[in-house]
Structure 1
Amino acid sequence: MTERTPLTVVTGPLGSGKTTLLRHILNVMPRKLAILMNEFGEIAIDTKILQGKNVEMADLGGGCVCCSLLGEFEAAVDEIIATVNPDQIIVETTGVAEPDALVFDIQESLPQVRLDGVVTVMDADGLVAYPQIGHTSRIQIESADLILLNKVDLVTETELETVIHKLQSFNQVAFIVRTVRCQVDLDLLFGIARERLQPAPHHQHQLEVESFSYTAQSVYNRACFETFADSMNSTIYRAKGFIQFPEGTHLFNFVAGRWDLELFDAPATELVFIGKQVRQFQSNICDRLQACERSSGE
């Protein structure tokens, strides 16, 4: 009997730290790895962040892997196994995906792989700021074999205990690991192989979540951009991408009011904004970004 390729699903809400986890895995994992990424937004920012690493990548953009892209997902898995034959496959879902549908499809339609586990990344700081657990986040928690409770350095111990109790109320089986920037022992991530029988799911998507992208070749005034980031509209829950400053291009990460910049080699400014009905603010956001462009005389 041909040995099946282990497949790990990495899921979690927007901005919880899924791509940060993948960057950590790629830095320390010696085995041959393939990653399938499903991003929310027109520009595959996360894929570009991981490019150049010693890994085979496939981008499942333009929809949600848990429903509209299931056919593409199955085809991508078939192609990766046939051409690369990796030791491990990781699927990173978009933050609005419900992994139970993906797990069901893996069981029903992909006999050449075995589900090694579902790893759900949760944002401790986000759960304190937004304590209400929505339908999709609840499914992500309930589906988990392992929960990485990320950004624990941003909350108090009392807040952390409250968050852990809430997670355990949805899932009493999953082991909860506290992390900062998703630094975790890989022995905890892989080799879970918990037997499960996933019933066919009933889907309810967060249809109010929208995204738009902004691209430019301009160089931006950093102080102006930081003021823009500090005052970003509260309907924007997640923003990410690359922004060019005189001192170099930076990776921009914004989640629920917190943001940071990291020096990163990218050729142009590319930003994605995600939030509830965010497109109605697109014109204002683009105008404010353009106001931060440096003139040639500066």
Structure 2
Amino acid sequence: MTDLYLISGFLGAGKTTLIAQLLREAFPTGKTVLIENDFGEVSIDAALLRTGKVSVRELNAGCICCSLSGDFVSALEDVLRRQKPDRILIEPSGVGMLSDIEEGCRHPRIASLAAVRRKITAVDVKRCRSYQENFGAFFEDQIRCADVILLTRTEQFPDKIDTAVQLVQSLNPEATVLQAPLHADTLQAMLSSAPCSDSGALHEACGAPHVHAHEAFQTVTIHTTRVFTPEALRQCLQKAEQLPGQILRAKGIVPCAQGFLQLQYVPGSLEIIPCEVGGSSVCVIGTQLQESGLQQAFAEA
């Protein structure tokens, strides 16, 4: 029986960082498969997480939860039967419904092959209140259906922790809430805490209306061969921020003179660092985005 770990979290909450650490420290042995879904045509996270020790299966046709009855269950069953891994980590898009993912994992075609061991949701302490107010159905579903909630960015924003704890406990008083930095002890607590009982009626248990991500969010993928400097990439983001619409997340890997740069953006926070993985695209997720303007913002000056 294969163990399934569902790693959820709204846009930019820190899912990829968590998965990288789990792969490195908690699951260094055995056969691990990562099923990775980005809300866009290019999976930046899959490129960053792919290593020689981990097999990665990408699902890029929008959000997993939009095709649970077909693509996701079929892909999961195929991995289970062909590769017979010890464990599978599933990272849905940041705008995916965790209840939908769990429902797919408990499908009759899957139930005899694998079992859900842990449902983990990462929650950004700085932005959680804003995300609840603006994107409640998606954000709240990820919290209500979790066994374990990991609060992220606690070291940067310690004054936001108490409010975040109150918010998540009001939505899911049964979940284990972890607020310590992501070290070995935190990982151990995350994986050893008692999981919530299986829910036979997932949507009723989570209490969220069924909403498809493609109805609420847009994604724009920018393909580029431009060679960037960190400052030029920062200026591109500044131009993009001034356009109509709301950018909730941007991430990408683009060429630079010394190799490649990795871009990670959420409102109020931009990180540009050297990257060993090659790439030539930026994915922008948001609402009411202006695609032509975004393409122009990243074009050559």
TM superposition score normalised by structure 2 = 0.87
| C-alpha deviation, 1:248, in angstroms | 2.6
Instruction: Give the Cα–Cα distance (whole angstroms) in 2 for the partners of residues 105 and 224 of structure 1.
Output: 42
Q: Which amino acid aligns with 1:221?
A: T
| Pairwise CA distance, 1:193 | 4.6
For the Cα contact (< 8 Å) 2:248–2:286, is it kept in 1? yes
Residue type at the aligned position of 2:122: V
TM, length-normalised to structure 1 = 0.87
Matches of 1:47 and 1:14 in 2, distance apart?
15
Amino acid in structure 1 at the alignment position of 2:250: A
Change (3 A) 1:128 1:186: same
Contact 2:72/2:104, CA 8 A, preserved across alignment = no
Deviation at 1:228, TM superposition (A): 2.8
Q: Secondary structure at the match of 1:148?
A: strand
Q: What is the CA deviation profile of residues 137-173 of structure 1, one whole-angstrom value per residue up to 9, with x for unaligned ones?
A: 111110010001111122133x210111011100101
Q: In the superposition, relative to structure 1, how do residues 128 and 136 fare at CA in structure 2: closer, same or farther (>3 Å)?
A: closer
SS at structure 2 position matched to 1:48: helix
Q: Secondary structure at the match of 2:67?
A: coil
1:291 is matched with 300
Q: Do 2:68 and 2:101's aligned partners in 1 also have CA atoms closer than 8 Å?
A: no
Aligned residues: 285
Tell me the amino acid that sits aligned with residue 121 of structure 2. Answer: T
Q: Would you say 1:117 and 2:118 are equivalent positions? A: yes
Alignment check: 8 A CA contact 1:103 1:198 kept: no
Q: What aligned pairs does 1:273-288 form with structure 2 within 5 A after superposition? A: 273-278=284-289, 281-288=290-297
Find out whether 1:228 has 2:239 as its counterpart.
no
Please give the alpha-carbon distance, in whole angstroms, between the structure 1 residues aligned to 2:279 and 2:167: 41
Q: What does the per-residue CA deviation read over 1:206-228, in whole Å, with 9 as the maximum and x for residues that have no partner?
A: 42310011112221233222233
Say if 1:127 and 1:42 are closer, same or farther in 2 by CA, change over 3 A: same
Alignment-derived partner of residue 211 in structure 2: 204
Partner of 2:28: 30
- Report the Cα offset of residue 131 of structure 1: 5.5
Identity %, equivalent residues: 24
Q: Are the equivalent residues in 2 in contact too, given 1:214–1:270 (CA < 8 A)? A: yes
Separation in 2, partners of 1:57, 1:152: 30
Select which of 229, 236, 251 maps to 2:262. Answer: 251
Mapping for residues 141-156 of structure 1, pairs under 5 Å: 141-156=143-158
Q: Which residue of 1 aligns with 2:142?
A: 140
1:87 shift after superposition:
1.5
Distance 1:183 1:60 in 2: 30
Distance 1:289 1:60 in 2: 26
Is residue 2:86 matched to residue 1:50? no
Paired with 2:131 and 2:93, the residues of 1 have a C-alpha distance of 19
Please list every run of 5 or more consecutive structure 1 residues that lacks an aligned counterpart in the other structure.
293-298
Cross-structure match for 2:253: 242
Aligned to 1:215: 223
